[in-house]
Structure 1
Amino acid sequence: MNKKLLVLFMAVLMAVFTAACGSNSAAPATPATDATKAPEAAQTSEEITIKHKLGEAKLKKNPKTVVSFDYGVLDSLDKLGIEVAGVAQSSNIPPYLEKFKDAKYTNVGGLKEPDFEKINAMKPDVIFISGRQEPAYEELNKIAPTIFMGVDNEKYMESFKENMKTLGTIFGKEAQVDEELAKIDESIKKVNEKATASGKNALIVLVNEGKLSAYGPGSRFGMIHKELGFTPVDKDIKVEGHGQSVSFEYIMEKDPDYLFVVDRGVVNKNQDASTSAQQTIENDLVKNTKAFKNGNIIYLDANYWYLSGGGLVSTGSMSEEVMKEVKW
C-alpha cells in the first residue's frame, strides 16, 4: 500500500512540474519591456530631412558625432547640453567658449580652412557650417550631411529662430529651444521699447587696423536697427559684407546720438594689441559728435558681434549688452 502511494505521489509531482515548464516556455515577452525599448529604437533609426540655403541634408535624429564650424551654433549646442566632437580650433575661439580648446575636441581646422583629412577620419554624423565655410560645402557634404546655419542679416531674427528650431528638431530639444527663444524675445523687446521711446539715432562702425566701415539696416550688425529699435543716422549705407568704407569726417557730419563700435582687432591675431578701437575712434573729429559729448560711444563685444552671432548665447548677450551699456 505504501509503495502504491509513493508511485501516485511521484506521478502527481511530475504532472505539476511539466505543466509549470510548459507555462514558462510559452509566456510572451513582458509588454512593459517592449514598450520601453521600442521608442528608443525608433528614435535612433528615425531619418529626417533638413532643408537649408545650400540644399538638403538627410540624417538620423540625435546624431552622435557632431562637427561645428560656426561658433554661434557651437554656443547653442553647448547651451542645449549637446556634445560636440569637432571644433574649428585653428581660428580664434571666443573666450566664453574657451572650453572647446581642450584636446578632447578634434581640431577640424580654421573657419576658412577645414581639415578635410581629420574630418573624414572622424566619420561625423553631421557637420554645421555658415558663410565662412560656404565654399567648402560640396567637399564637406561628401564626408557627412552638412547643414548651412548662417544667419540672413536682412531677416536676422527670423533666420536665427529657424536655425535654432532646426537644432531642436535634430536633437529632440524643441521645448528647450522654445524656452530660450522666449527669453531672447523678451530681452529684445525691452531694448526696443526704450530705443523707440528715446527717438535717438545711431551709427554702427567696425574698426579694423585704423580703417572704418559703416553698417546699416540689413547688414551683419543691422540687428541694432531692426530688432533693437535704434533709428539709423544714415539710411543710405550700402549693405555689403565688409561694410561701407567711411571717414572720421563722415562720422562728424552724421553726428549720431549713439555710436556703436565693433573692434575687429580683438579677434584678429595679427593686429598689434596696443592698437585699440577707442584710440582710433576718439580723435578730435569724433569728439565733436553728440555721441562722444554725451558719453554714448558703446564699444561692443566683438566676440559676440563679429565671431559668433546667431547663437542662443551670443544673440541673448548682444541684446543684454546694449541694454546695459546704453545710457537711457
Structure 2
Amino acid sequence: MAVLTFVLMFVLAACGNSASNNTNTAEGNTAEQTTAAGNAGTTEEAAEPAEEAPTEVTIKHQLGEATVKVNPSKVVVFDNGVLDTLDKLGIPVTAVPKDSLPSYLEAKYNVDTVENAGTLFEPDFEKLAALQPEVIFISGRASEAYEELNKIAPTIYLGVDTARYLESFTENMNVIGQVFGKEAEMATELAAINDKIKSVNEAAAASGKKGLIVLTTGGKLSAYGKGSRFGIIHDVLGVAPADDKIESSTHGQSVTSEYIAQTNPDYLFVIDRDAVVESEGGSKGQEVIENDLVKNTNAYKNGAIKYLDPNYWYLSGGGLQSVMQMVTDVEAGVK
C-alpha cells in the first residue's frame, strides 16, 4: 500500500506541472497576440491620409493676379503660342480668334466646334460673356482688353518678355502646367527643348560666324537684334550678331539692301511677314532679299540665307511646338 500510494502521488504531481505549463503557454500566446493587435492599431493610427490635390491655383502675371480652377473645361485663348501649347498637350479649347491662325493649327481650330472669339485686338465680349469661360489667356495684342476680359472670367497674361526670352517662355509654360495639372508633361517637353538649345549653341560657337535677322513686308526691310522680338537667335541660341548696335524695338530697325551688303553677315535669317498676313501684291520676300547687292554677301555666296517659317516665328512664337521648331530652324541654318 505504501508503494502504491507513493506512485499515485508522483503521477498526480506530474499532471499538475503539465497543466501549469500549458496554462502559462496559453497566457503567453494571448499576451503576444494582444501586443500584436496593439501594435497594429498603433500603425493604423500613425498613418496620415494622402494629401488632396488642389482644386484651384492663383497665378500672378504681368497685368495682375488670377485664381482659376485647376484643369478648367471652358478655355478661351487670345495667343497663338498658348494655343500651340494647349494643342501639344491635348487640352481642348472653347474659343479662339480665327482670323490669324497659323497654318498648322488652322484645320483643327477653324471649325464649327470651336467658337470664334473675335480678333486678337478686338475680342467679341458679348459672345464670350455668353460662353461663360473658366479662364482666358491673352498676350500683347489683346492686352488693352484685359480689364473687360477679366470681368468675364479670370484672365491670365502670358506674353513672352523678349529681353529674357527663355526664362519668360519657361515661366509661361510652367503656368500652363499648373493650371491644367500637366507639370510632369511640361517638364519633359521643356527638357527636350533645352537639350536642343544646348546643341545649337555648341554649333553656333564652333562656327565662329555672325548672323543678321531681317523681316520683309510690303517690299521693305527691318533688322532685329539682341533683345528684340526675334532676338532668341542671338540671346538664346548663341549666334553672334553681325551688327550689335541694332535698335531693339517692336517693329525692328528699318534698313536697306545696302545695309545688308555693308554688314555682310555670314548667316542671313529672313522672316517673310507677307507669307502669312494678307498684303497687296502677296509675298515677295525672296525677291526683296536676293538682289544684286545681297548676292555679294557671305551669306548668299555660301548658301546661308535661311527663310524662317513665319507661321512659327511671326504668328505663334512662345509655344511648345513653335519654340522647338524655331530652334530647329536655326540649327539647320548654322550647319
Pairwise TM-score range, normalised by the shorter structure: 0.7 to 0.9
Cα offsets for 1:249-296 (capped at 9, x unmatched): 1101100000000000011123423x4210111011111111111111
Structure-1 residue corresponding to 2:188? 179
Distance 1:147 1:126 in 2: 8
1:322 to 321, 324, 330: 330
Aligned 1:128-207 pairs, distance under 5 A: 128-207=137-216
User: 2:203, 2:334 within 8 Å by CA — same for their partners in 1?
Assistant: no
1:27-62: per-residue Cα shift (whole Å, max 9, x none)? xxxxxxxx99x95xx65xx23210000011111111
Aligned residue number for residue 13 of structure 1: none
TM-score of the two chains, using structure 1 as the length reference: 0.85
Q: Which residue of 2 aligns with 1:286?
A: 294
Deviations 1:122-156 (A, max 9, x none): 00000000000011111111111000000000110
Q: Is the aligned partner of 1:233 residue 2:245? A: no
Please tell me the residue identity of whatever aligns with 1:319.
V
**Higher Cα radius of gyration:** 2
How far apart are the structure 2 equivalents of 1:105 and 1:127? 14
1:291-310 superposed matches below 5 A: 291-310=299-318
Taking the aligned partners of 1:80 and 1:248, their CA distance within structure 2 comes to 42
Counterpart contact for 2:204–2:334, Cα < 8 Å: no
Aligned to 1:268: 277
Percent identical pairs in the alignment equals 58
Matched, 1:66 2:75: yes
The list of structure 1 runs, each at least 4 consecutive aligned residues, that deviate by more than 6 angstroms after superposition, is none
Gapped runs of 5+ residues in structure 1?
1-34
The yes-or-no answer on 1:251 pairing with 2:247 is: no
Residue identity matched to 1:297: I
Tell me the distance in 2 between the aligned counterparts of 1:262 and 1:251: 15
Distance (Å, rounded) in 2 between the aligned partners of 1:127 and 1:311: 16
Structure 2 unaligned regions, length at least 5: 1-48
The residue type equivalent to 2:278 in the other structure is: K
Is 2:68–2:134's contact at 8 Å kept on the other side of the alignment?
yes
Partner of 2:233: 224
Partner of 2:58: 49
For 1:26, the equivalent position in structure 2 comes to none
Q: Distance in 2 between matches of 1:206 and 1:114?
A: 28
TM superposition score normalised by structure 2: 0.83
What is the CA deviation profile of residues 57-100 of structure 1, one whole-angstrom value per residue up to 9, with x for unaligned ones? 111111110000101100101111111101111x2211111211
> Equivalents in 2 of 1:272, 1:119: separation in Å?
35
Q: Distance in 2 between matches of 1:327 and 1:220?
A: 20
2:124 pairs with 1:115 = yes
Residues in 2 aligned to 1:296 and 1:144: alpha-carbon distance in whole angstroms: 47
- The CA RMSD measured in Å over matched residues stands at 1.5
3-state SS of paired residue (1:49):
strand
* Per-residue deviation, 1:327: 5.3
Find the aligned partners of 2:195 and 2:280 in 1 and give their Cα distance: 37
Counterparts of 2:318 and 2:334 in 1: how far apart (Å)?
25
Amino acid at match of 2:88: K
Q: Which amino acid aligns with 1:195?
A: A
Task: Quote the Cα distance in structure 1 between the aligned partners of 2:278 and 2:229.
Answer: 21
| Alignment coverage as a number of residue pairs | 286
Counterpart-to-counterpart distance in 2, 1:310 and 1:288? 34
- Is 2:78 the partner of 1:100? no
CA distance in 2, matches of 1:103, 1:272: 31
Indicate the SS of the match to 2:91: coil
